[in-house]
Amino acid sequence: MRFKLKSILSLAVAGCVFTGNPTLNAGPASAAPPERISIDDDWRFTKGDPTNSAVSLLYDVRQPKQIRRLAAVEADGNASLASMTNSADATNLPVSVIKQWILPTGNEFIKDPAKRFVRPEGNVADGVAFAQPGFDDTSWQEINLPHDWAIAGPFTHSGGGGMGRLPTAGIGWYRKKLDIPAGDAGKCIFLDVDGAMSYSTVWLNGQVVGGWPYGYASWRVDLTPFVKCGGPNELVIRLDNPPNSSRWYPGAGIYRNVWLVKTSPVHVGHWGTYLTTPEVSPAAATVNLKVTVDNDSKQSAAVAVTTEIFALDADGRKGGTALASIAPVDLQIAASTNAVAEGGATVANPKLWGPPPTQKPNRYVAVTTISQDGKVVDSYATPFGIRTIKFDSNEGCFINGEHVPLHGVSDHHDLGALGAAFNTRAAQRQLEILQDMGCNAIRTSHNPPAPELLELADRMGFLVMDEMFDCWQRSKTPNDFHLSFDDWHEQDMRAQIRRDRNSPSVTFWSIGNEVGEQYTGTNGAALAQQLCDIAHDEDPTRPTITAMNWAKPDMPLPAVVDVIGLNYQGEGIRDTPEFAGTDRIRTSPQYPAFHAKFPDKLILSTETASAFSSRGVYLFPVTKDISSPVRDGRGGDPKIHEVSAYELYAVDFGSSADKVFASLERHPFVAGEFVWCGWDYLGEPTPYDSSRSSYAGIIDLAGFKKDRFYLYQSHWRPDFPMAHILPHWTWPDRIGQVTPVHVFTSGDEAELFLNGKSLGRKKKDAYEYRLRWDDVVYQPGALKAVAYKNGKRWATDEVETAGEAAKLKLEPDRDTIRADGKDLSFVTVTVTDKNGLTAPRADNRVRFAISGPGEIVATDNGDPTSFEPFQSHDRKAFNGLCLVIIRGTAGQPGIIKLTATADGVRVGTASIKTMLSLN
Ligand code: GAL
């Protein structure tokens, strides 16, 4: 199908209101059935396969083995329980290839029934000690999920830094006892895994159940045939996380939430609702809902499907009175099949969903009830929003009629010191800080996000580019997703879209990032077409996009996707004389050429900038250009492996924020940008590969704002009065030396004063985004900027020379949190002088002690070169700051007291109250 531009698309969304974190769990409670039970707690974990195994498990002969390398075996697309002895296998163990037991898990996402998989006879458990019922796991580590086994370290210094220098690679085993009461006999019992990294295999009571390879996918296995009701059940999950499988830190383990779902045999299918709002006016919105009802029983079922629509408040709480209802639909469903009920309703005077600050993310929920023989057997909540989106190839995106430029960021999934282990509060904090900057869109680079991230985006009003893959058939790293692509891309795509298509935040389906198929001409385009067809089949209401750093207007790939996504090509790549002769990509600015070739297609910059900096590090001299690649002595210091925070330096193929702003402003048909990247992430520490984490974030790994934050804020929030001076003004070693001063402001001019003396008033010219005084000679004292807008005083900022480090200031981001074992307080520790001024170069080692019902989960300082373990209870300050992450003990409300000490400075303390409920 072709995607029509300039058509008005109204979308809405469904998916269960998540129940993972009470902070956000104010959604509608469902009627008696189904039960969705968190089973995150009380798991046992160990790393590595048993040393005395009788067999060696391998997902697929294409997949490299971790410990015993399987080299000389032909790829076997139809492997059954093949036991192969491989001469390259150091231990000479027989190999059990388990792919055929895993593939059937994805059957419901394979459209052509002829292509679905049949579970082989037999079982994969013989000789697999850890999967056996009764296995004694008491010596294994006790853990709660979400769990990332790699974040505990230790850091490694061998090999490349791309994957974060943490031990992600290897096998991990998880075991848990499940008590399934006798009363559950006759129910369907499912295991829902929001994400496990990677190549999961699930056993229940010694029987292999299924699994899923892609570590970012959410998936379900049906435990029903293997459950023993009325007794203990043993659930076992094995993961196999390959080395060289990613360009960034993937994390390792069951790193998202896991649920036990119990339903009646007749129930709403997995992600079984699809809600759209095809017509929206101020007076009324049409709500269309398709409900897939599964009949997993042995008899045909006569059911009635009814749906009522309620408002959701800002906290996700359902209103008391139904605002509309969909007329009941009767279905006759044959045994072991499903059927779809379709219906519609009208919501009068709809409150629309849209991004702040000009709009509100209002939401509704459709509560669907399934009745069989007059008895309610299932109830399913579908939260959604009502909105219109117009994609105009000349003017950009219009949400509910309002022009909304996309001020977006691309971000990876890790949560810094917490690793990949998902935590709703940590993700919410990331989004809050981004929203404060004026960011209104996120791109889930380069994979499906945690479901709770979308719930947060829905609730907070972010637009989301929901991305699927970083590669297709052509690899970027030896063991990445290309190994699974042919077998799994359809299942992965359909699963992601069915899970996410009811989220009002989801705006684009990104089918891939910088894929190698950009280089394969018509073959690559044909594959892209297949992927677009899948996306349109699951959801015809949203456009497809792919992020292209190479494909040009006259190549086949861009013609296939609905929206043109450009990585760096809009500004031009290595488009300066210093790159002449390189064999890397060189591209002149491409916006006009794409616009001319595709006058009806929206153009978006899916990635911009890749600008680098280390928070609080200022290196001299400062380039006079508005954008420069990092080189030793030009923005980069090869001795300390830090990049200057003058915010002018970028990766060779990238640009400073200033250059990107100018290029977008010169091409107003471009709908906006997704900056690489919002938050620093683990891995990919270009330009200093020996480091642990990136330099590209606008916000550092600990969540502290780099100066760049204020540059984006000044441009993205023009009505918010602000001014920001850089650098800090504590340079005892620079007295008498030229020390450039730059000011970011949402005003249009500013006057700079040093110790009360004016250094001149400067005005931004067209396509200028910072005011710079490049000849300031440093002398200690106070620097003050007074910004003006339209001639009127608008905002001020001041920095002062600080004295010696003398005190520690502790500031929790929230001083009251839930005592639920999940909620977090992020405490910023600032080293100050005796007057309370930040000591901007302080690197004191700070030690932490905690008392009361809580624990220190992690510490960090945002320094990409720091190899102190994240779990350490002491941490060097990096340029005056460090971070402590505190969690309250579940079920034990009280006062947590955190004490920070450092040699030669006054102790600092903070109190955090924990409560069973915050409402
Ligand atoms: C881009 C890529 C991102 C990240 C970035 C780093 O080309 O799409 O994933 O690698 O470069 O600069």
User: How much is the average pLDDT of 271-286?
Assistant: 97
Q: Give the per-residue pLDDT at 76.
A: 27
* Residue 259 parent element (H or E): strand 258-263
Hey, what are 513's tokens?
Answer: 């990032």
Number of the ligand 1 atom closest to the C-alpha atom of 568: 7
Q: Give the per-residue pLDDT at 13.
A: 33
Question: Tens digits of per-residue pLDDT, 639-686?
Answer: 999 999 999 999 999 999 999 999 999 999 999 999 999 999 999 999
Q: Give the per-residue pLDDT at 703.
A: 98
Q: Of 371 and 9, which is predicted with more confidence?
A: 371
Cα(279)–Cα(299) distance, integer angstroms: 39
User: How much is the average pLDDT of 527-551?
Assistant: 98
Hey, what are 104's tokens?
Answer: 């059937």
- The yes-or-no verdict on residue 3 having pLDDT over 50 is no
Closest CA to 822 of 417, 418, 231: 418
Check if 665 is active-site.
Answer: no
**Cα–Cα distances in angstroms (integers) from residue 334 to residues 294, 327, 337, 343, in the given order:** 9, 22, 6, 21
Going by alpha carbons, the residue nearest to atom 12 of ligand 1 is 610
Burial category of 644 from C-beta neighbours within 10 Å (exposed 0-12, middle 13-18, buried 19 and up): buried
Number of the ligand 1 atom closest to the C-alpha atom of 654: 12
Other CB atoms within a 10 A radius of the CB of residue 610 amount to 23
- The yes-or-no verdict on residue 745 having pLDDT over 70 is yes
163 Cα–ligand 1 center, Å:
13
Q: Give the per-residue pLDDT at 865.
A: 98
3-state secondary structure labels for all residues of 685-735: CCCCCCCCECCCCCECCCCCECHHHHHHHHHHCCCCCCEEEECCCCCHHHC
Catalytic pick among 108, 452, 517, 607:
607
The band of 385, judged by pLDDT with boundaries at 50, 70 and 90, is very high
Backbone angles phi, psi at 727, to 5 degrees: -90, -170
Number of the ligand 1 atom closest to the C-alpha atom of 446: 9
Q: Of 10 and 883, which is predicted with more confidence?
A: 883
Going by alpha carbons, the residue nearest to atom 11 of ligand 1 is 610
- The yes-or-no verdict on residue 381 having pLDDT over 70 is yes
Check if 342 is active-site.
Answer: no
Choice from 411, 684, 693 to test ligand 1 binding pocket (greatest atom count within 8 A of CB): 684
DSSP state of 675: E
CA dihedral 263, 267, 270, 275 (to 10 degrees): -130
Cα(900)–Cα(907) distance, integer angstroms: 6
Cα(116)–Cα(114) distance, integer angstroms: 6
446 Cα–ligand 1 center, Å:
10
Look at the block and give the residue holding tokens 């669907």: 368
481 Cα–ligand 1 center, Å:
17
Closest CA to 11 of 273, 275, 271: 275
727-745: b (≥16 Cβ within 10 Å) or e: bbbbbeebeeeebbbbbbb
Going by alpha carbons, the residue nearest to atom 4 of ligand 1 is 676
Hey, what are 745's tokens?
Answer: 């402001």
In degrees, to the nearest 5, what angle opens at C-alpha 491 toward C-alphas 488 and 495?
140
Q: Give the per-residue pLDDT at 38.
A: 97
Residue 281's contacts (CB-CB under 8 Å, 6 or more residues apart) are none
Choice from 444, 571, 607 to test ligand 1 binding pocket (greatest atom count within 8 A of CB): 607
Residue ranges lining ligand 1, Cβ < 6 Å: 247, 445, 513-514, 549, 567, 607, 610, 651, 676, 684, 686, 696
Other CB atoms within a 10 A radius of the CB of residue 271 amount to 25
- The yes-or-no verdict on residue 485 having pLDDT over 50 is yes
Contact call for residues 618 and 589 (beta carbons, < 8 A): no
Contact call for residues 255 and 196 (beta carbons, < 8 A): yes
Q: What is the largest CA-CA distance in the chain?
A: 89
- The yes-or-no verdict on residue 603 having pLDDT over 50 is yes
User: How much is the average pLDDT of 332-359?
Assistant: 98
Question: Tens digits of per-residue pLDDT, 197-246?
Answer: 999 999 999 999 999 999 999 999 999 999 999 989 999 999 999 999 99
Catalytic pick among 108, 514, 538, 684:
514
Number of the ligand 1 atom closest to the C-alpha atom of 513: 8
513 Cα–ligand 1 center, Å:
9
DSSP state of 30: P
DSSP state of 543: -
Q: Give the per-residue pLDDT at 54.
A: 75
DSSP state of 852: S
* Residue 661 parent element (H or E): helix 657-666
Contact call for residues 839 and 833 (beta carbons, < 8 A): yes
What does DSSP say about strands 894-901 and 908-915: parallel, antiparallel, or unpaired? antiparallel
Residue 792's contacts (CB-CB under 8 Å, 6 or more residues apart) are none
Is 432 strand, coil or helix? Answer: helix
CA dihedral 35, 38, 39, 40 (to 10 degrees): 170
Closest CA to 626 of 602, 657, 653: 657
Choice from 412, 548, 676 to test ligand 1 binding pocket (greatest atom count within 8 A of CB): 676
Choice from 549, 610, 655, 656 to test ligand 1 binding pocket (greatest atom count within 8 A of CB): 610
Contact call for residues 741 and 795 (beta carbons, < 8 A): no
Cα(361)–Cα(456) distance, integer angstroms: 11
Cα(397)–Cα(389) distance, integer angstroms: 7
| ω into 577 cis (within 30 of 0) | no
600 Cα–ligand 1 center, Å:
28
Cα(216)–Cα(245) distance, integer angstroms: 13
476 Cα–ligand 1 center, Å:
12
Other CB atoms within a 10 A radius of the CB of residue 719 amount to 8
**Cα–Cα distances in angstroms (integers) from residue 329 to residues 24, 136, 293, 536, in the given order:** 32, 51, 11, 26
Number of the ligand 1 atom closest to the C-alpha atom of 694: 6
Q: Find the length of the chain.
A: 919
Number of the ligand 1 atom closest to the C-alpha atom of 445: 9
Question: Tens digits of per-residue pLDDT, 27-48?
Answer: 333 445 689 999 999 999 999 9
Question: Tens digits of per-residue pLDDT, 843-892?
Answer: 999 999 999 999 999 999 999 999 999 999 999 999 999 999 999 999 99
426 Cα–ligand 1 center, Å:
23
| ω into 677 cis (within 30 of 0) | yes
Contact call for residues 89 and 67 (beta carbons, < 8 A): no
User: How much is the average pLDDT of 590-619?
Assistant: 98
Other CB atoms within a 10 A radius of the CB of residue 716 amount to 16
Is 11 strand, coil or helix? Answer: strand
**Cα–Cα distances in angstroms (integers) from residue 691 to residues 155, 555, 892, in the given order:** 10, 37, 39
- The yes-or-no verdict on residue 349 having pLDDT over 80 is yes
Rg from Cα positions in the chain:
28
The band of 64, judged by pLDDT with boundaries at 50, 70 and 90, is low
148 Cα–ligand 1 center, Å:
24
Residue type, 462: F
User: How much is the average pLDDT of 146-159?
Assistant: 96
411 Cα–ligand 1 center, Å:
10
548 Cα–ligand 1 center, Å:
11
User: How much is the average pLDDT of 687-715?
Assistant: 98
Choice from 480, 481, 514 to test ligand 1 binding pocket (greatest atom count within 8 A of CB): 514
Count Cα atoms within 13 angstroms, Cβ side, for 591. 24
868 Cα–ligand 1 center, Å:
26
Cα(281)–Cα(131) distance, integer angstroms: 57
Going by alpha carbons, the residue nearest to atom 3 of ligand 1 is 676
DSSP state of 611: B
**Cα–Cα distances in angstroms (integers) from residue 67 to residues 97, 151, 170, in the given order:** 15, 21, 8
Q: Note if the pTM is more than 0.85.
A: yes
Count Cα atoms within 13 angstroms, Cβ side, for 911. 3
Closest CA to 616 of 418, 806, 799, 429: 799
Cα(861)–Cα(871) distance, integer angstroms: 12
Mean pLDDT, the chain, integer: 93
Contact call for residues 701 and 681 (beta carbons, < 8 A): yes
Is 613 strand, coil or helix? Answer: coil
495 Cα–ligand 1 center, Å:
26
Cα(291)–Cα(286) distance, integer angstroms: 16
Cα(515)–Cα(498) distance, integer angstroms: 23
173 Cα–ligand 1 center, Å:
32
Cα(588)–Cα(346) distance, integer angstroms: 50
**Cα–Cα distances in angstroms (integers) from residue 578 to residues 331, 635, 662, in the given order:** 69, 16, 21
Going by alpha carbons, the residue nearest to atom 6 of ligand 1 is 610
Cα(634)–Cα(619) distance, integer angstroms: 8
Hey, what are 584's tokens?
Answer: 């890397």
Question: Tens digits of per-residue pLDDT, 766-796?
Answer: 999 999 999 999 999 999 999 999 999 999 9
